[in-house]
Structure 1
Amino acid sequence: MRLPARLLPLAALTAASALLTGCFTSAGTSDTSAGGSRIRLAMMQPPRSGLSPLSDDAFKLSRWSTAETLVKLDAEGDAKPALATRWQQDGRTWTFEIRDGVTFHDGTRLTPEAVVRSLTRAATASPKPRILDGVELTAKAENDKVTVTTAAEDPLVPQRLSSPQLSVLAAKAYRGKTVNPVGAGTGPFELTKVNGTSSAALDRYDDYWGGKAKSPGIDVRFVPDGTARAAALRSGEADIVEAVPVSQAAVLDQDLITEVPMPRTNTLYLNTEKGVFKDASLRAAAREAIDAKSIVEGVYEGRADVAEGLLGPALPWAAELRSPVKRAEAGDPSGKPITIGTFTDRAELPEVAAALQQQLQKAGFKVQLEIREYANIESDALAGAFDAFILSRATILDSGDPAAYLYSDFGSDGSFNISQLADRKVDAALDKATEAKAGDTRRKAVSEAEAAVLATDAAVPMLHERVVQGDAAGVTGAAHDPRERELVTADTYVR
């Protein structure tokens, strides 16, 4: 059982704070004009792939505003101009006009050829960046434009090109087998130094095409220990702290923390192919037995949102388009034995499993839990070895679109179909959503697909997680992004 934050010994918090002492000494310029001092940033995860944009490290480059993409996404998930100013589709081919007057941090110009070089390196990488998994993409420079062609017609090409994994870097980044982003981006901050997995430094790039940043630079420290990150905010050692643990949030000044809805849903997947939950009425009984509110209050200390559907408040349009769903009536679960699986890698999930065990046993089920590390349980979950499985699942993938998640998890041919669901109505709704054009039409189709899944009770969404971000009192303009693509922007500074 997790020790509540309010009961942590003062010595533990003091020791955690000591871990950060002195580690934000500026590694960059000392200029403090146009926005005060440099921004001291404590991040949760260190680089895993040397900050290569072809890996998940790309999201760090994006959150530091050093590497940019052709397109960015608005709050609704629609594509907006970035390094590309406009685009149009002709079947399988999209044509992008490249922004004029942009320079890389090494002083070289952004050209269509530079864009093609970056996209081609990503498209031919092994393994490919996750955003291009299953996608065949080629790029060509034509006059002042770039054409992007896919093997099959794809309405989401602009959204794909918004992924930080498809950032456009200068030629110097691609010397050798690895991709080195130091001094090679186009953003308002230039990455100047990386110290392995311990720290990084960025300086303001005064020739940024979007206007001079308000802060002179960023000093980054990678602090995997959550207590130490929280202590850095308490002690004033850090200006912005990423991912403050729920257990620590209560002991911080509440004016310094912001809870950001994440596109991540904690869901109970029910095995529809075999066992107890092959019976739709018993799936309904399980759904009715679950008290998600008590889990939010007890396990997440109120820092999560009770789920009304699979898609949560990080997608602002989801609630507006959701309509009532007709489900099966609940049967009698008395004496029915079930095994629920989950994993230890996310600290809250074993606690969620214990709470569900009590709730379902109260309804009449006989419940056994099986909890392992994720690497040791995933294959069994995908093979349908459990009656139910608890999963914290990202509901929008790198394109910012939830259709891919719904198809993966609930399509008959879905690669992550833990519920073993094979339903013709669901498949038809998923196909419609996958093929729909981006925008209102696609959002409506996605909402209809969500309703089709919920009607089967193959999955019981319980709660939508939040991430807690800490901003010191002097911080102005820090981004609070559910997609975790932005954090420090050109408008962020410390007073």
Structure 2
Amino acid sequence: MTALSLSACSAPAGGQDTGRIKVAMLQPPRSGLSPFSDDAFKLSRWSTAETLVNLDARGDARPALATAWTRTSERTWEFTVRDGVTFHDGSRLTAQVAAGALTRATRATPKPRILDGVELTARAEGGKVVVTTREPDPLVPHRLSSPQLAILAERAYGPDGKVDPVGTGSGPFKLVKVNGTTTATLDRHDGYWGTKAKAPGIDVSFVPDGAARAAAIRSGEAHIAEAVPVSQAALLAKETISEVPMPRTNTLYLNTAKGPFKSPGLRAAVRASIDAGQLVRGVYEGRADVASGLLGPALPWAAEGRKSLGERTAPASAKGVAITLATYSDRAELPEVASVLQQQLQGAGFAVELVVREYAHIEEDALAGKFDAFILSRATVLDSGDPVAYMQADFTCDGSFNLARLCDEDVDRAVREAAAADAGPARHAATLEAEAAILRTDAAIPMLHERVIQGDATTVLDSAKDPRERVLITVETRLK
């Protein structure tokens, strides 16, 4: 698809296009815009589907379709449903409708990712939704902020399990038309319960090619372009580029179960040999941040409260130590990162064999521990807006994504304590203790934190710059 195809949706079927916002998005719908899939994030970014809870910039839970909530027992929460909300089809939001939407999500196949490993039930009691979990879960409000648990009108949910978001959301923009994997059209919903949107509508084109998205900004075919590649950013006028820290860290995982990196001293030698600044300046053209921990600037509280690591393990001699370093080609920068890292490690004395494949062809071997070192671009904050799930998966003995094959009692204990902590400052502090425990092992060496690059025409005002990529067009977004 070229940038020129954006003109196909420059005006809605009903008439005038003045002030409508044209958006070039990275990925086309994969599941018919079902909120139970990753397509839910599109509905959220267009402000058409809403959840009971929102997350603020710090990742704390805030009211949305629920005005308040209370934890009434270890396993039970009550959410008060907002009065006066009308869906785009004219039906009303009630506790029964909200509970029904959550129940359908728990029964979906496949289950929404936010509910992996979580057993949850929802029922209506008066004007409240009562949510009960099998195990105590201090993050229930955060889970309900996931776009995959959006609340749609009852008619959105078909008997076959399919969900149709067209005309069934509650947000400031009404989804009126979807043209397969090509375009989508949204009009302002003047009956919105909150502040009326300033733009009359949104016209979306799905443009997987990064060069075409950047070209659409240069040509004026798009007002906003998602995920502009680093290689294209330099071709755009400076005033049309925004860089937003992402909760995504480029990390080197070292195999602690077998091979050279069973040795803490050799892991420390790797840590000492890496020049992350060279990677940021060279590979990312300065459009990334050197890592100071697993959690980056997208989580402001992480930098504010980061724990001291104390005295570190001294590096051992790496002279003549043979290792295999692997990564995948799906993310354009990673093969180049691997090449630069190979040179740095060789400079420290390691003999480095480099392996690069498509992710689908390398993940199985990586999880099986067939490489000594693996470079991964990893999201550190998953759907709940909380990094503990990432730490559980990647660094605990039973972790489902433990590329480092780490099994450390101190790490497991620290992660358990973080998982049990209440949301807010106590959980932040416990999470940073877990981060420090992981970093002390040198099983994972964070190198840099990535940024998402967004293109905005100079005529655009107040588009959202969201590191979690949940919000893009808000009620304030408009054209000059």
Instruction: Name the TM-score class by shorter chain.
Output: over 0.9
Q: Decide which of 182, 187, 203 is 1:198's aligned counterpart.
A: 182
TM-score (ref. length: structure 1)? 0.95
Instruction: Count residues in correspondence.
Output: 477
The alignment status of 1:121 with 2:82, answered yes or no, reads no
Could you list the per-position Cα deviations for residues 174-233 of structure 1 after superposition, in whole angstroms to 9, with x for gaps in the alignment? 023210100000000000000000000000000100021101000000000111100000
The alignment status of 1:47 with 2:32, answered yes or no, reads no
4+ long deviations beyond 3 Å = 15-20, 28-32
Could you list the per-position Cα deviations for residues 433-465 of structure 1 after superposition, in whole angstroms to 9, with x for gaps in the alignment? 000000000000000000000000000100000
The alignment status of 1:69 with 2:56, answered yes or no, reads no
Q: Decide which of 453, 458, 467 is 1:473's aligned counterpart.
A: 458
Q: Report the Cα offset of residue 57 of structure 1.
A: 0.0
> Relative to structure 1, is the Cα distance of residues 307 and 276 closer, same or farther in structure 2, using a 3 angstrom cutoff?
same
Query: For 1:127-206, what aligned pairs fall within 5 Å after superposition?
Result: 127-177=110-160, 178-206=162-190
Q: Decide which of 368, 372, 382 is 1:397's aligned counterpart.
A: 382
Query: For 1:61-460, what aligned pairs fall within 5 Å after superposition?
Result: 61-90=43-72, 91-177=74-160, 178-326=162-310, 327-460=312-445
Q: Report the Cα offset of residue 371 of structure 1.
A: 1.0
CA contact (8 A) 1:29 1:217 kept: no
Tell me, in whole angstroms, the C-alpha distance in 1 between the residues paired with 2:16 and 2:433.
54
TM-score (ref. length: structure 2)? 0.98
Which runs of no fewer than 5 residues in structure 1 stay unpaired? 1-14
Tell me, in whole angstroms, the C-alpha distance in 1 between the residues paired with 2:249 and 2:420.
24
The alignment status of 1:38 with 2:20, answered yes or no, reads yes
Tell me, in whole angstroms, the C-alpha distance in 2 between the residues paired with 1:29 and 1:39.
15
Could you list the per-position Cα deviations for residues 330-378 of structure 1 after superposition, in whole angstroms to 9, with x for gaps in the alignment? 0000000000111111111111110110000010000001111111111
Q: Report the Cα offset of residue 145 of structure 1.
A: 0.7
- Aligned partner letter, 1:171: E
CA contact (8 A) 2:3 2:207 kept: no
Identical counterparts, % of pairs: 65
Which runs of no fewer than 5 residues in structure 2 stay unpaired? none
SS of the residue corresponding to residue 317 of structure 1 reads helix
Tell me, in whole angstroms, the C-alpha distance in 2 between the residues paired with 1:110 and 1:99.
8
Tell me, in whole angstroms, the C-alpha distance in 1 between the residues paired with 2:244 and 2:396.
30
Tell me, in whole angstroms, the C-alpha distance in 2 between the residues paired with 1:381 and 1:318.
29
SS of the residue corresponding to residue 469 of structure 1 reads strand
Tell me, in whole angstroms, the C-alpha distance in 2 between the residues paired with 1:266 and 1:28.
44
- Aligned partner letter, 1:203: D
CA contact (8 A) 2:81 2:128 kept: yes
Tell me how large the CA RMSD over aligned residues is. Answer: 1.1
- Aligned partner letter, 1:71: V
Tell me, in whole angstroms, the C-alpha distance in 1 between the residues paired with 2:260 and 2:397.
20
